[in-house]
């Protein structure tokens, strides 16, 4: 019985340590070029292991409706994930949003208005 409690304690400690290091993206820098119709987002997410703790998904919205969902298998580098999309159906005043998801825990959404 003591062995089971000991291993359960070790498991909880190891699992909770991973959660402590998990965090949502810190920021999302979004730009949209109306001439080329290209949306670029840099999802800021610091990690020491971009293969195991990374931005796993990016969703793009236009006026509150999801138009793109991209699954990502690993982060570009230890500090951020860059994504770019061609969005042809925008007009001035439209709202574009990008939502980034951490592979372990958390998400962040930012929005801009098309000029």
Mean pLDDT of the chain: 89
- pTM, rounded to two decimals: 0.82
CA 90 to CA 38: how far, in whole Å? 10
Tens of pLDDT, residue by residue over 4-36, are 655 555 544 444 444 446 899 999 999 999 999
Q: How many residues does the chain have?
A: 115
Quickly name the fold that domain 24-113 has. Answer: Immunoglobulin-like (2.60.40)
Tens of pLDDT, residue by residue over 45-59, are 999 999 999 999 999
Q: Are the CB atoms for 60 and 87 separated by under 8 Å?
A: yes
Helix (H, G, I), strand (E, B) or coil at 5: helix
Residue 88: per-residue pLDDT: 97
Provide the β-strand partners of residue 96.
62, 112
Residue 38: per-residue pLDDT: 98
Distances (CA, A) of 54 to 1, 26, 81: 38, 12, 8
């Amino acid at each position: 019985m003591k062995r089971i409690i000991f291993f359960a304690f070790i498991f909880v400690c190891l699992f909770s340590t991973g959660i402590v290091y998990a965090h949502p993206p810190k920021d999302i820098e979004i730009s949209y070029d109306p001439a080329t119709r290209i949306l670029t987002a840099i999802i800021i997410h610091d990690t020491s292991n971009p293969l195991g703790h990374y931005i796993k998904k990016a969703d793009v919205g236009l006026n509150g409706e999801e138009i793109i969902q991209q699954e990502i298998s690993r982060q570009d580098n230890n500090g951020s994930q860059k994504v770019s999309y061609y969005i042809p159906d925008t007009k001035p005043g439209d709202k574009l949003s990008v939502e980034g998801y951490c592979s372990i825990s958390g998400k962040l959404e930012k929005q801009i208005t098309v000029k």
